[in-house]
């Protein structure tokens, strides 16, 4: 990753990055239907779209597509809308008194752009400084994945990850940087295959330049085995 380029982008955006609500825009009745009922409805909806496009839904290759897409929407790529799927962010006492920064980097992100319903693919880098609690490393990946599995904008996803970890760990000292490709930009529209989008959220101590610098330096480290 070209970290200096990334830092420039972060500086440019600063605190002025496009801010949307920290919450996904859901209606009050979002969970009145069961997941099974949602799958049944979306099945009909996708059928209708394909029919309108002129596809022959009796063809063996695509007759299962509406049901497949419906299940994928509800259980997989938008499964993170369901609060019951939220990972329990159990924390532990920091017995060894490790007081430095902990960085979990290169967490794979598969999300979906809420404007085009096309994939957002990239990496998240998450860090925190313990104030007494620590969290399991795989929990950090699970939290990232839970919020990614929604129709998203990258700025909101970045903020949600930080807020969730701040609440779980009882400290403001949490940061997240996401570098991701948006297929709505890369594969259609202006078809810029090289561009990626960087978003960042720096809480508490990470607002200090030196702490932020340390975090970004760790992201830059090559991990080899």
Binding site for Zn ion (CB under 5 A): 113, 115-116, 184
Q: Does residue 160 have an active-site annotation?
A: no
- Indicate which residue of 17, 113, 152, 201 is catalytic: 113
Distance CA 58, CA 51 (A): 11
114 is catalytic: yes
- Residue matched to tokens 């929990």: 139
Q: Is 113 labeled as catalytic in the residue annotation?
A: yes
Would you say 114 or 214 has its CB closer to Zn ion?
114
The answer to whether residue 51 is catalytic is no
Q: Give the pair of three-digit tokens for residue 106.
A: 């290169």
Q: Which is nearer to Zn ion, 40 or 184 (CB)?
A: 184
The one catalytic residue in 7, 67, 172, 184 is 184
Q: What is the 3-state secondary structure (H, E, C) of 71-104?
A: HHHHHHHCHHHCHHHCCCCCEEECCCCCCCEEEE
- Smallest gap from Cβ 184 to Zn ion, in A, equals 3
- Going by their DSSP bridges, the two strands 101-113 and 151-152 should be labelled as parallel
Annotation marks residue 184 as catalytic: yes
CB 218 within 8 A of CB 104: no
Residue nearest to Zn ion (CB): 184
Say which of 67, 116, 163, 172 is annotated catalytic: 116
Q: Which is nearer to Zn ion, 116 or 123 (CB)?
A: 116
How far is the C-alpha of 223 from the C-alpha of 143, rounded, in Å?
23
Q: What residues are annotated to the active site?
A: 113-116, 154, 182, 184
């Amino acid at each position: 990753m070209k970290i200096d380029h990334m830092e420039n982008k972060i500086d440019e955006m600063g605190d002025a990055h496009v801010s949307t609500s920290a919450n996904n825009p859901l209606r009050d009745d979002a969970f009145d239907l069961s997941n099974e009922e949602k799958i049944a409805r979306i099945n009909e909806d996708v059928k209708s779209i394909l029919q309108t496009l002129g596809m022959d839904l009796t063809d063996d290759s695509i007759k299962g597509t509406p049901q497949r897409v419906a299940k994928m929407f509800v259980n997989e790529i938008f499964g993170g809308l369901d609060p019951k799927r939220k990972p329990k962010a159990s924390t532990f006492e920091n017995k060894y008194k490790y007081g430095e920064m902990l960085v979990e980097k290169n967490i794979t992100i598969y999300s979906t752009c809420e404007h085009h319903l096309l994939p957002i693919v990239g990496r998240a880098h998450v860090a925190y400084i313990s104030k007494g609690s620590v969290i399991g490393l795989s929990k950090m990946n699970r939290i990232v994945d839970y919020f990614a599995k929604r129709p998203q904008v990258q700025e909101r996803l970045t903020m949600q990850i930080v807020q969730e970890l701040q609440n779980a760990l009882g400290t403001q000292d949490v940061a997240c940087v996401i570098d991701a490709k948006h297929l709505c930009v890369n594969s259609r529209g202006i078809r810029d295959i090289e561009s990626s989008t960087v978003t960042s959220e720096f809480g508490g101590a990470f607002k200090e330049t030196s702490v932020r610098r340390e975090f970004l330096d760790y992201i830059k480290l090559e991990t080899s085995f």
